[in-house]
Amino acid sequence: MEGMKQYLQEAINAIKDTTGSFYQNRISEGYKQLERTIVLLDNLLIKAASLKQEGQTLPLDENKMLASLTEAMKAMEAKDVILLSDIMEYEIKEMLEQSLNNLL
């Protein structure tokens, strides 16, 4: 689970960086950081699925996470970086922080 803690922390930090840029209207910088954030979230979900197959439980509601990611994608398609940031900051990041706290 140590590796999972690292995945969670990296994703949390990436979300903070991305949303910070978007909130400060540094849009192109935010989109560059978003690419990294998406890769980290993808790696996190792959790791979570792998742990689940091994019979380990992870305090992460995958269905809720996927629903939030779907909403984030809709915001991206609408080019609404504030809504995207709000979803990332107040839904996705909070889920990841809760999962990390449950692992500590």
Q: What confidence tens digit (pLDDT) does each residue in 13-33 have? A: 999 999 999 999 999 999 999
Binned at pLDDT 50, 70 and 90, residue 58 comes out as: confident
pLDDT at position 1 is 62
In the block, which residue shows the tokens 């979230």?
A: 41
Tell me which range, 14-18, 51-55, 99-103, is most confidently predicted by mean pLDDT: 14-18
